[in-house]
């Protein structure tokens, strides 16, 4: 077997895709639960209680809470319903951006250890974004047709 056929065999291996898919689903569910809880708390708690913990405006914290809840829903629903599955990597990328902000804000307060949690969550969200983008089915993408090809037929 040549090197090229070995690589083709491994890439199309029935073992590789399900393992990666299961790992991505597990991380997606864990992140969705985490962001549902965090976003729900930002929506349920009084603004005064939240602004004591974080030096951010209350309306901005509510906005972040809404984004976290919608991102959590975006991690799970497209895959479950098999509708617009290309939205899952976008939701994960949005959550990764939120976690970058959380990491920077935590580091700006002068302590490094608490910044590890949002950093790890952000890396997990980024890995979901990359994994779902790389493994997304390409059959749903629109194929561009050149007008010259249409006229010649």
More confident residue, 15 or 89: 89
- pLDDT tens across 15-31, in order? 556 888 889 999 999 99
Domain boundaries, the chain: 15-137
pLDDT at 123: 97
Q: Is pLDDT of 118 > 80?
A: yes
Please tell me whether residue 64 adopts helix, strand or coil conformation: helix
- Separation CA 150–CA 153 (nearest Å): 6
Residues 6+ apart with CB under 8 A from 142: none
What secondary structure letter does DSSP report for 136?
S
Least confident of 50-59, 89-98, 122-131: 50-59
- Count CB atoms within 10 A of the CB of residue 105: 14
């Amino acid at each position: 077997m040549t090197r090229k056929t070995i690589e083709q065999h491994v890439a199309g291996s029935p073992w590789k895709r399900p393992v990666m898919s299961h790992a991505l689903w597990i991380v997606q569910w864990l992140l969705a639960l985490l962001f549902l809880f965090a976003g729900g708390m930002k929506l349920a708690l009084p603004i005064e209680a939240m602004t004591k913990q974080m030096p951010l405006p209350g309306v901005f914290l509510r906005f972040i809470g809404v984004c976290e809840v919608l991102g959590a829903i975006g991690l799970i629903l497209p895959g479950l319903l098999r509708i617009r599955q290309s939205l899952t990597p976008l939701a994960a990328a949005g959550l990764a951006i939120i976690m970058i902000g959380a990491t920077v804000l935590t580091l700006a307060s002068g302590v490094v250890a608490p910044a590890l949690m949002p950093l790890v969550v952000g890396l997990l969200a980024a890995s979901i974004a990359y994994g779902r983008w790389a493994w997304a089915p390409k059959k749903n993408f629109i194929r561009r047709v050149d007008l010259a090809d249409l006229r010649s037929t």
